[in-house]
Chains A and B, each alone.
Chain A
């Protein structure tokens, strides 16, 4: 997959990937709750092995995405890492900022809306490659 991103696009991707990596490592990061949703809400706690596996997979994808940020071409695994990490970044942004409805999204500040739209645009274009 050929990566045709200008500097602005790569900067947005870099910011998104960097936040996901940081949020996985830091429980105080504002995105951390978005990376740890419940699997089975009928139980107080999820299976620790399942949550550990999830944590490792998200971190692996994010780190691969960071490592390949400057690449002109991505293989299938790298493209999937980009898509997954961007999607995780998008949802984590929404959760951290309470963007849980169309109304809340429309009412958020312009800078946040611009970031959301940029990540969404990156995702649209990536999705077309699959």
Chain B
């Protein structure tokens, strides 16, 4: 039985992602920043309330904020990242969004 040669796939313009497409696909991070006045227990409550995180996960993220100065608490599309950031700011935390590098 003759071997079947694999088809050579020709590249087209649609196969190559443009820089813009790659740019928009990079996820957006929600970043919470440390400050000297916010009680740690309040940060945990806020993370649990807004994200529905378990106590363990919320505490782990809070400790990351505390020790490293900031923590990425959520990652995904820009619209949702912005919405979460607003919720965290409404709850009184220092928060921003940034696109992953």
Contact = CB atoms under 8 A, between A and B. Distances in A.
Interface stretch (B2-10, B11-19, B33-41): B33-41
B64 interface: no
Nearest to A87: B92
A41 B38 CA distance: 22
A90 interface: yes
Given A83-B42, A105-B37, A39 B97 contact: yes
A124 B93 CA distance: 15
Interface string B11-29: 0000000000000000000
Interface residues of B, number: 28
Contacts of B91: 83-84, 87-88
| Interface magnitude class on chain A | 35 or more
Nearest to B90: A57
Q: Counting chain B CB atoms within 10 Å of each CB, which of A87, A90, A126 scores highest?
A: A87
Given A50-B83, A128-B41, 9 more contacts: A37-B95, A37-B96, A87-B93, A88-B91, A91-B92, A116-B37, A124-B39, A126-B42, A127-B42
Contacts of A40: 82, 96-98
Contact of A123 (B35, B39, B93): B39
B82 A90 contact: no
Contact of A101 (B36, B87, B92): B36
Nearest to B33: A37
Contacts of B35: 91, 94, 100
Given A39-B97, A54-B90, A88-B92, A80 B85 contact: no
